[in-house]
Amino acid sequence: MSRNTTNDVPPDILDNEEDEDIVAVESGSDVEFDLEANPNSVKRGTEVIKHFWATLPQAPGVYRMLDGKRDVLYVGKAKSLKARVGSYARGQAHSNRIARMIGETTSMEFVTTATETEALLLEANLIKQLKPRYNVLMRDDKSLPYILLTADHEAPQLVKHRGARKRKGDYYGPFASVWAVNRTINALQRAFLLRSCNDSYYENRTRPCLLFQIKRCSGPCTKEISVDEYAELAAEARAFLSGKSNAVKARITEEMQEAAESLEFERAARCRDRLAALSAIQGVQGINTQSVEQADVFAIDEQAGQFCVEVFFFRNWQNWGNRAYFPKADKTMTPGEVLTSFIAQFYDDKPAPRLVLLSHQIEEVELMAEALSTRAESKVEIVTPQRGERRQLIDYVMRNAKEGLGRRLADTASQQKLLVSLSQAFGLAKIPRRVEVYDNSHIMGTNAVGAMIVAGANGFMKQHYRTFNMRSEDLKPGDDYGMMREMLQRRFARLVKEEPRSPSNSSPQGGGGEQVADGSSQVAVEEPHVAADDSFPSWPDLVLIDGGKGQLEAARQALAEVGVGEDDVAVIGIAKGRDRDAGRETFFKPGQPPFKLPPRDPALYFVQRLRDEAHRFAIGAHRAKRKREMVKNPLDEIAGIGPSRKRALLHHFGTVKAIQRAALEDLVKAPGVNAATARAIYDFFHDRG
């Protein structure tokens, strides 16, 4: 049981004329809070916290600290809300990070819970939803794939699954990647001949499909195998995926020998192929373990203020893959603190295995184990091994974490050098931290889609990609200039409204550098420390337009109409070279004549990569939209026709054309269709003529 509580802060606390703005100084990649320069800001935040602390109960719960924009700064849980929040109100002995957070706090919100375990689970859920600035964030929180062997059909289906477990059946996983799931399913199809087709396809088969011909399916759809025999294959697959692999292999080996002795060589060959497929599943697992049947192994490494958490998944004594995560965390935090928050978020949407192995001790390990046990509905043990095979396993995973973080740092440094070369090639006054590239795709003006891709110091930032469905009524089919204008107007109008840019944060184009032979400007730019992800800006420093002078002019007009000046964002047009050959691109920059970059310039290759990624993303969005249009049903456009009525109409009439030709009296006779709905359907088709 929980409840939300919040109070208004008296105006005299927030509107204090003596309060000063927060003063920050650049230090490396992060903005450091200067305690001596900000005593009033910290004092103001402390007074806000004291106001809420006075009425808090001695009960477990979750608290949220909010800034002046009502954005959540931090989410925390507490065994006693009054005691935990009171620790912030002391106004001393705080780290730099906590002092920054207190200085920005203008309000707080609370949720009381029945137990501390419930508070821990709620905290992890809120962190993933709200993504507070001062919490450890997973960043890559996509659901992991599973293998599902269904149990809601006479012929169980073997499929890949992601998301909520709504379908009846047995779930096996998680797997580290979709590639690992697909590889395993392919091998399981060869070993157990289970179907992977959906139920609709299964019900409508009149002869075996290709998978039966290539011995990937036993053909239950056309009764090539009896229901009982197919059920035995499904039972063997469940046993194998549940860890009884040796028993399954022994049973298949025995069947192969019996078939050979009976001179049934085709059946013996099928058993031989099944054994080979099972050996392939077990043989490509990489590192395996003899003493750990089911466990997730976590190891964390820290370098240069960044963290990497490597996770290995072991199920049924098999390694089902590994995955590296790079959580966002303050560089002053210890690996144990980061790992504590990471694990709570990691298991927010999935059950934990019976054993969780960690490279570092975490805070409140017993509470964490109790919370994971509650979610998994079975006992979960959390261990930090110090010796034996489990410690060797941790050491192996730790090496992978170190190597993964080393590769990421190297890639980030290389990407930063490319951004430096880009700023020099285009004569920018500072190194761009956020680069946006715009392109559009259509066929003769139909299914027009605009696309925006984003790049930064960590490479392509796919979570910031965006597509634009062209919706202007004045837009003529095939008008590329109009599409570019609409796309940029919508993007920057929203940006100006939601996050107005202050003059101190603007990114002028520069142009005061030395002019080089190819027409670009060369400026002296020092290579800075790699920027942290938590400071990734919402405003671009550089906008690249896939097009020449006309496209550039359309982009400039669009930006000017929404109040974005040329000193706010640098805009560059990229015109394809002769015969559309890469390496011959011409660049257009306002106030300068067109210019080219040297053929082997790293900046040129970088721009080509950016443009190609925008092109790929735009074409993919266009194809997806075109595919949706091809399968679009006219019934979807009629108000009051949902999935159930649409299905009933199609079952009654057979096709959409038959519904279109039906008389009003015939429509009324369809199941689930009343007189008003029948009239709406009839008028829809006949108004179209």
pLDDT at 21 over 80: no
pLDDT at residue 286 is higher than 80: no
- Same structural domain for residues 107 and 39? yes
Region of 95 (left: φ > 0; alpha: ψ -120 to 50; beta: rest) is beta
Strands 61-66 and 72-78: antiparallel
Are residue 184 and residue 333 in the same domain, yes or no? no
603 or 655, higher pLDDT? 603
pLDDT single digits (tens) 322-378:
889 999 888 888 999 999 999 999 998 888 889 999 999 998 899 999 999 998 888
Say which CATH number the domain at 124 has: 3.40.1440.10
Which pLDDT score, from 0 to 100, does residue 31 have?
41
The percent of residues in the chain predicted with pLDDT above 90, rounded, is 17
Q: What is the pLDDT of residue 361?
A: 92
Answer whether 184's CB lies under 8 Å from 175's CB.
yes
Query: Does residue 37 surpass a pLDDT of 60?
Result: no
Least confident of 144-153, 254-263, 426-435, 449-458: 254-263
| N residues, the chain | 689
pLDDT of residue 500: 79
pLDDT > 90? residue 646: no
| Residue 484 belongs to a domain | yes
CATH of the domain at 376: 3.30.420.10
Per-residue confidence (pLDDT) for residue 359, from 0 to 100: 93
pLDDT of residue 141: 62
Contact 317, 288 (CB under 8 A): yes
User: Within this chain, do residues 432 and 374 fall inside the same structural domain, yes or no?
Assistant: no
- pLDDT greater than 50 at residue 508: no
Range name among 101-105, 176-180, 659-663 with the lowest pLDDT average: 176-180
* Domain presence at residue 419: no
User: How far apart (Å, rounded) are the C-alpha atoms in residues 101 and 124?
Assistant: 19
- The pLDDT of residue 511: 43
Q: Mean pLDDT, to the nearest integer, of 305-314?
A: 90
- What kind and span of H or E run contains 448? strand 446-456
320 found inside a domain? yes
Cα dihedral value 255, 224, 186, 182, nearest 10: -140
pTM (2 d.p.): 0.67
Give per-residue pLDDT as tens, 420-441. Answer: 988 988 888 889 999 999 988 8
pLDDT score of 276 more than 90? no
The CATH number of residue 659's host domain is 1.10.150.20
**443 domain residue, yes or no:** yes
Identify whether residues 645 and 576 lie together within a single domain.
Answer: no
State how far the Cα of 180 lies from the Cα of 280, in Å rounded to an integer: 13
97 shares its domain with 13: yes
Q: Which of 224, 254, 283 is the last residue of a domain?
A: 283
Question: Comparing 416-430, 512-526, 657-671, which segment has the lowest mean pLDDT?
Answer: 512-526
Establish if 414 belongs to a structural domain: no
Q: How confident is the model at residue 61 (pLDDT cuts 50, 70, 90)?
A: very high
User: How many domains does the chain contain in total?
Assistant: 5
Q: What is the pLDDT of residues 542-554, one digit of tens each?
A: 999 988 888 888 8
Quote the pLDDT of residue 369. 92
pLDDT reported for residue 516: 37
Residue 116 lies in a domain: yes
| pLDDT at residue 15 in the model | 52
Mean pLDDT (whole number) for 107-131: 90
Mean pLDDT of 88-101: 78
* Candidate from 334-338, 399-403, 495-499 with smallest mean pLDDT: 495-499
Q: Tell me which residue of 218, 284, 275 sits closest to 245, measured CA to CA.
A: 275
Instruction: Name the E strands within 107-215.
Output: 107-112, 146-150, 158-161, 169-172
Q: Is 73 exposed, middle or buried (0-12, 13-18, 19+ CB in 10 A)?
A: buried
Residue 413 dihedral angles phi and psi, to the nearest 5° = -65, -40
Are 363 and 470 in the same domain?
Answer: no
Percent of the chain with pLDDT over 70: 83
Does 413 fall in a domain?
Answer: no
Considering the domain architecture, whether residues 153 and 278 belong to the same structural domain is answered as: yes
Residues 448 and 364 placed together within one structural domain of the fold: no
Are 322 and 384 found together in one domain?
yes
Q: Are residues 367 and 484 in the same domain?
A: no
619 and 521 part of one domain:
yes
Structure confidence at residue 204 as a pLDDT band (50, 70, 90): confident
Residue range(s) defining the domain that contains residue 648: 634-687
pLDDT band at 280 (very low <50, low <70, confident <90, very high): low
Residue 436: predicted pLDDT: 94
Asked if the structure places residue 78 within a domain, the reply is yes
Residue 657 has pLDDT above 70, yes or no: yes
Section 551-569 average pLDDT: 86
Predicted confidence (pLDDT) at residue 40 exceeds the cutoff of 50: yes
The per-residue pLDDT for 88 is 87
* pLDDT over 90 at 602, yes or no: no
CATH number of the domain where residue 557 is located: 3.30.420.340
The pLDDT, as a whole number, for residue 437 is 93
In this prediction, residue 656 carries a pLDDT of 77
What is the pLDDT, as a whole number, of residue 89? 82
Single out the residue of 688, 603, 592 nearest to residue 638, CA to CA: 688
Same domain, 259 and 359: no
Q: Which residue has the higher pLDDT, 20 or 475?
A: 475
